[in-house]
Structures are given as C-alpha cells and as structure tokens.
A and B are shown apart, each in its own frame.
Chain A
C-alpha cells in the first residue's frame, strides 16, 4: 500500500470520528441487517431514521417488536438521502454510487469490517457504540456477552454434540471463520462444516457420512416456498431420523454481542436433545 492510499484510508476512517465529536447523531440510517440488530440495542428508537427492510423479517426474533416501530429502507441511495441522515452505518460492501452520493451530501458513512469471533464482536460493537455516542451502553452489552461466555465456559466438560448447519440446499453449510461456527463452539458443539473455511457444500450423501447427531436448519423466510424446504424432506434423511433444530439463519451470521445469548440458548437446546438420546 502506497503512502498516499494509506493516508487516504486514514482520512476516510477519520471522517466519522470527526463528525461525531460534535453532536450525537439523531437520524441514523443502517444499511446492514447486523448493524440493525446492534442499533436497536444501543440507541432509543427515536434516533434511528431507518433500518434495512430485512430487520422486520430476518432479524433477531427478540428485537422484532422494536424493529417494527422504526421505518425501513431498501438500500437505495436516493432513499437513504431522502431520510436526511446524519450518520449512515453500512457493511463492508457499500455500492460506489451510494458512497459518492453520501460524500457529496456531506453525510458521514461508517463502514463496518466483517468479524466472526468474540474479539471481532467486541471491536465492532465498540466502534459502532462510539459512533452513535453510546459507548457506555456498548460496554454493557459486551459485559453481558462476556458473562454468558463465562457461564458457557464453565460447562465445557460435557461431551460435544456433532452438528451440521444444513439449510437443505447443500451449498451453504457454514464453515470455519463464521459467526455460526463461533456460536456452535461456545455452545459445546462440533461444527461438521468446519472442515472448510467459508461456506461449504454438502450433498445428502456427505451429510449422512459425516454422522451428525443434530441437523440445524436455517430458517429464512420460513413461511414462503423455496426448494430447500423440499430437499430436507428427502427419504434418506428421514430414514436416519436426525434430531433437528431450527435457527434464525441471518441472526446466526451477525457479529453482535447477542450471539453469546444465542449460544446459551443453543446449549440448553442441545442439552435437551442429549438428555433424550439413547
């Protein structure tokens, strides 16, 4: 990286810091589902101008009542500007058009680097909390997360459960370096998809041969029809009679402190299955 690009990058990174130094932002727009989840926990609803439209269908079930009280956006550049935001928070892959438009309108844009482990979650939570002037609340969330993790750590003597996150279409099995994997490990499970780094691909034959004890089926838009709902009904899988857990797929991909309480919840559910197994 040349000195010029480095300094340009530092300048870009500094923009939100400069802007937030003055007044706490009161019209925050989120362009990322995971940022939605965190914002709902960090600031009062009145300070959020809009969240992504996904927050109402794919978001954390616990935060849904809050999400419905906030307007939504569909990620369009024009739509974002019309909301007159004083801070826009987005994931890594903001479109060039949106970025240029926000820049020329003088709206600060904070882009969050993706994270997949607890340390990454602490980092991004602090980054966002600081940008919205809610650092104290951010630390509370992190403390709650660490307490959950400590509780989970104290019960690590139990036999791990072999789990595969198998949505049904076979080519989106979460592997290593995913939030899913981080949650599973904390809950005392072995993620069978972790042989690969990112998302990996399992056909039914491979699912059978990986000898899972539990199939975790991601629920996305569960009520509307998709092919993946069919494939999981395959006779070969039914014959094996795997225990199945359903999990909110999108939320299991979010690097937010709530991931720790999801892990606690999962550990309880796995305990239940363990108790019932021969």
Chain B
C-alpha cells in the first residue's frame, strides 16, 4: 500500500505540472509572455478561460474515465487485453454520436449527442460481453473486434446517407479524436455522465477483487456476479459513451493506464482502479499537450497520437502473452 500511495502522490504532482503546462501551451502561446495592453489582456483571459481551461478539464475527465474503465474491464474479464476501444465500446459510442450529429438531432437538443453516445456504448458493451463473456481471452477480443466492425459499419452507413457530403470528411477527422476547440458547453454535457459512470465503476472494486479468485469463489464470498456485470456495463457505457461523444474516439489509454500502474500497486483489481484513473488522466493530458507542441500543420489529432503510442504496447502485450501461454 505504501508503494501505491507514493505512486498516487507522484502521479498527482506530475498531473499538476502537466496541467500548468497545458494552460500555458497553445498554438497562440506567445501571448503568455505578457499582455501589452487592456485589449490583449482581455483576449488572453478569453483564451485561458474559454479555450484552454475547458480543454484541460475535458482531458482530465476523459482520460480518467478511459483509464478507469480499462482497469474495471480488465478486472471483470480477467483479461489483460480488455479495453473500451478493443471491446467496441468506443466505436459504439461514436456511432451513437454520429447519428445524433448528422441527423440534426444534436442541434435541436444538444443532450441527445451524449445520450445517443451512451446508448451506442451500452449496446456495444452488452453485445461484446454477451458474445464473449466466459469464453476466454481470445473469444472476448474476437467478440470485441466483431462488435467494433459492426459499429464502424453502422457509422459508415450513417455517413453514406448523411445529407451533407462534407460530413464524410468531417467525421473521418472527428473519429481521430481531439480536444481542440471544445468549450464549457461540452464539459457540462459530458461531465455528469462521466462522473456518474466513474462512481459506479469505482464501486466495483470489492466485487472485482473477489472475482479474481474465480467465479465460484466470488459467489461463495457473497458477490452477486450478475449485478457486478450490470454495474460494469452501465458504468462503462456512461463514462466512455459520454466521453467519446464529445471528444471522438481515443484509443489505448484504457489499455495502457492499468498496465502501467499494476506493476507498482499489485495485481489486486480493486487497488488498480484509482491509480489507473489518475494514470489515464495523466496520459491523456500528456498526449494532448504533445499534439500542441509537435509543430505539425494541421494539428496532430489526439486519437492518432494515442494509437501510434498505444499499438506497439498492445503488440508487446500480445507477444508476452504468447510467450507465457503454454
């Protein structure tokens, strides 16, 4: 536990440093060297308060939600490869959001974007867990791939039929995931769902600990497995669904975060949850900062960066599993 506490403290300190750096960094960064007159000062306040701060808050919320849901899904499925992206949750959420945006529903009633995102995530998670639950590591990943494929096909269909051809371009951009140009509106839209989902996921610690001993043992310890699964399902759908609906698809944070902290806090699933959430927030914040620092025109998309960094890690995990497996 001591090592875990130290880890949490170190990560919190890093989070503070990165948060400060995130507020100080933008494509118009030079303004921070000091405003010259009143108008410039007003502009600086506007940029900090309406652009960089909501971006920072969203990075923390979404990163934590992804890290946490990755840890919980890995605990529930007892599968080190489980992650919202790989299980089809993110693509389900993206499908829901795309439908809301391109039918125009999202303009009439902005809550419909996170709500449909949530519904998509819920449907996808339920489908993956039903298809692949209890079938071993491989079956679950295959089920996730199948559900992901289905959701992506649905997204492609929605685009195909979108009344605005410009939508096809826009949505491919959007699917790359980004926190650029978000406002408090998006934060307020996503935060209630993300927080409620995260609370639900954090409450599964004891059940996941018991489950790590095996299903029979967990039941004999008094854990209601069906209820635990429902909670994970609902929590993931709420947290990842709402997060994806405002940021687009961001992969691999949910895979990386739990693995990075597990080495320090041990393999008990319940103990991984908080540190994984913190680590997820840290990773996403660092990645978002990197997209603004890397001098590319146009800006490197967040989801592209996490995929570039995350995929080699995924490959390494697969390679290691192959070596360990008989």
A18 to chain B, nearest CB (A): 37
Say whether A228 faces chain B, with CB atoms less than 8 Å apart. Answer: yes
**Which residue of chain A has its CB nearest to the CB of B102?**
A225
User: Chain A interface: which of B161-169, B210-218, B229-237?
Assistant: B161-169
Say whether A190 faces chain B, with CB atoms less than 8 Å apart. Answer: no
User: Chain B interface: which of A30-38, A40-48, A204-212, A269-277?
Assistant: A204-212
CB–CB A208/B28 < 8 A = yes
Say whether B31 faces chain A, with CB atoms less than 8 Å apart. Answer: yes
CB < 8 Å A-B pair total: 86
Say whether B203 faces chain A, with CB atoms less than 8 Å apart. Answer: no
CB–CB A203/B106 < 8 A = no
What count of chain B residues pass the 8 Å CB interface test?
Answer: 34
Which of chain A's residues have a CB closer than 8 A to the CB of B185? 235
Say whether A98 faces chain B, with CB atoms less than 8 Å apart. Answer: no
Distance A239 CA – B184 CA, assembled complex (angstroms): 14
CB–CB A236/B47 < 8 A = yes
Which of chain B's residues have a CB closer than 8 A to the CB of A229? 107
What count of chain A residues pass the 8 Å CB interface test?
Answer: 27
Say whether A200 faces chain B, with CB atoms less than 8 Å apart. Answer: yes
Within 8 A of B (CB), among A209-239: 209, 220-221, 224-231, 234-236, 239
B320 to chain A, nearest CB (A): 39
Within 8 A of B (CB), among A157-181: 169-171
Say whether A240 faces chain B, with CB atoms less than 8 Å apart. Answer: yes
CB–CB A225/B104 < 8 A = yes
CB–CB A236/B164 < 8 A = no
Distance A220 CA – B168 CA, assembled complex (angstroms): 13
Contact of A201 among B47, B101, B298 (CB under 8 A): B298
Q: B98-121: contact bitstring with A at CB < 8 Å (1 yes, 0 no)? A: 000111101100000000000000
User: Chain A interface: which of B10-18, B73-81, B173-181, B190-198?
Assistant: B173-181
Q: B258-287: contact bitstring with A at CB < 8 Å (1 yes, 0 no)? A: 000000000000000000000000000000
A208 to chain B, nearest CB (A): 6
Distance A170 CA – B183 CA, assembled complex (angstroms): 15
Distance A228 CA – B166 CA, assembled complex (angstroms): 10
CB–CB A209/B163 < 8 A = no
CB–CB B166/A235 < 8 A = no
Q: In the complex where A208-B46, A235-B50, A236-B51 touch, is A170 in contact with B107 (Cβ < 8 A)?
A: no
Which of chain A's residues have a CB closer than 8 A to the CB of B101? 225-227
Contact of A230 among B43, B107, B180, B298 (CB under 8 A): B107
CB–CB B46/A236 < 8 A = yes
Q: Report which B residues bind A (CB closer than 8 A).
A: 26-28, 31, 43, 46-47, 50-52, 101-104, 106-107, 162-167, 170-171, 173-174, 180-181, 183-185, 297-299
In the assembled complex, 12 residue pairs joining A and B whose CB atoms fall closer than 8 Å, in A order, are: A169-B170, A170-B180, A201-B297, A201-B299, A205-B47, A221-B165, A224-B162, A225-B101, A225-B104, A225-B107, A225-B164, A234-B183
- 6 tightest CB-CB pairs across the interface, nearest first? A201-B298, A236-B50, A209-B28, A225-B104, A224-B164, A224-B163
